[in-house]
A and B are shown apart, each in its own frame.
Chain A
């Protein structure tokens, strides 16, 4: 992926997010202390927030250009998002959650089909269950699967393993590697954890108080 983030200005509660960076790579880690603005940056990328000024270009498409009044709505960006709190729809079953983003009429690509994804992430037995009945690790995988079934071209993950214990972390990490290898999706991966970084990422970006302070 090639991700251009230029002239980003977004006032937050304690500081202003100001970013000017070009990101290239397959899986890019985004680290920094909590409150550094990482989630806000992801929100901007996904089209869930508007900045005072921003120029965002993903590969060949301009997603946001405040100078020219361009802002592609979230639903057309093709950017998958697995937020920190997972945001699984509590009133829908696992199956309904998974199929929520599935595009109809598109030739069901074997790679991104529900069958394949549930197989890769090993969540087939969970499909009929309600969301509340899932364990922490299961919820993670369902949230990941849900984002994948929508055939994104970029995946944003906000500390996906942060709330899991060591053993579970070790078990889910290979799934993420599998996603990286099988689906060849570029990912922007927010994390503190060096193990995750070394296992998955090929580039690193550091943020602090709204600015990029290292990496690239």
Chain B
């Protein structure tokens, strides 16, 4: 594989890592609220979060494009006021990856939080700890393995993301990711290149999912 191909691999890995980091704070927050609190509209939010998992990715991509394109309400405002483009730049890829793997992160993290014995959190409160301290010193450390497992899963999903990314970033060379590169190579009958990309993406995804499984399984002693 030539330099350009390795650049695509590098870009894909980098933007996938960045997307997981970007959704982590919101993902943790939402997962905690779903795990530990009951509130009106909870079911609606749960369903809404699961949507990117069950909708056709192209449909999700279309919605993102309508919001982030220069005519969209976020994309338009950013373009007019800050001369900033999102669609068809690496930022759109980041958003698409983040949106598509958000449900996976929330699901895994929620389970991780639910598996922390609430009794421990309660006793921590009787010992004088405020909610933030309880979260940071008790909930988070005990849920950490599950959270990291969820992050690896989200990373693997980001690596393979295709449908939504096609809509918001097309096939422009500077934002090319592995999955779209494979698609394009197949379209142009460059099968050898397609298989090489495929091999790299399989290795990356395999590694991420394997780590995720090992971490998630290891929690159940």
In the complex formed, the residue of B with least CB distance to A156 is: B126
A87-B119, A91-B142 given; A100·B126 CB < 8 A:
no
Stretch at the interface among B55-63, B127-135, B208-216: B127-135
Chain B residues with Cβ under 8 A from A83's Cβ? 119, 123
Q: A79-B126, A83-B119, A100-B127 are known contacts; what are 6 more A-B pairs with Cβ within 8 Å?
A: A47-B125, A75-B126, A75-B128, A81-B123, A83-B123, A147-B127
Q: Is the CB of A100 within 8 A of B125?
A: no
Which residue numbers of B lie inside 8 Å of A, CB to CB? Answer: 117, 119-120, 122-130, 137-138, 141-142
Chain B interface mostly: helix
One of A87, A90, A150 near B128 (C-beta < 8 A): A150
Per-residue CB contact flags for chain A residues 44-83 toward chain B (1 = under 8 Å, else 0) read: 0011100000000000000000000000011111011101
16 A-B residue pairings within 8 Å (CB atoms): A47-B126, A48-B125, A77-B126, A80-B126, A83-B123, A87-B122, A87-B123, A89-B120, A89-B138, A100-B127, A101-B127, A101-B128, A101-B129, A147-B126, A150-B127, A150-B128
Contacts of A46 in B (CB 8 A): 122, 126
Q: Is A129's CB within 8 Å of the partner chain B?
A: no
Q: Which residue from chain A places its CB closest to the CB of B133 in the assembled complex?
A: A75
- CB of A141 closer than 8 Å to a CB of B: no
Cβ contacts under 8 Å, B142 to chain A: 90-91
Taken together as a complex, chains A and B put the C-alpha atoms of A143 and B123 apart, in Å, by: 10
Partner of A100, one of B117, B119, B129: B129
Complex: A79 Cα to B128 Cα, angstroms: 9
A103 at the interface (CB under 8 A from B): yes
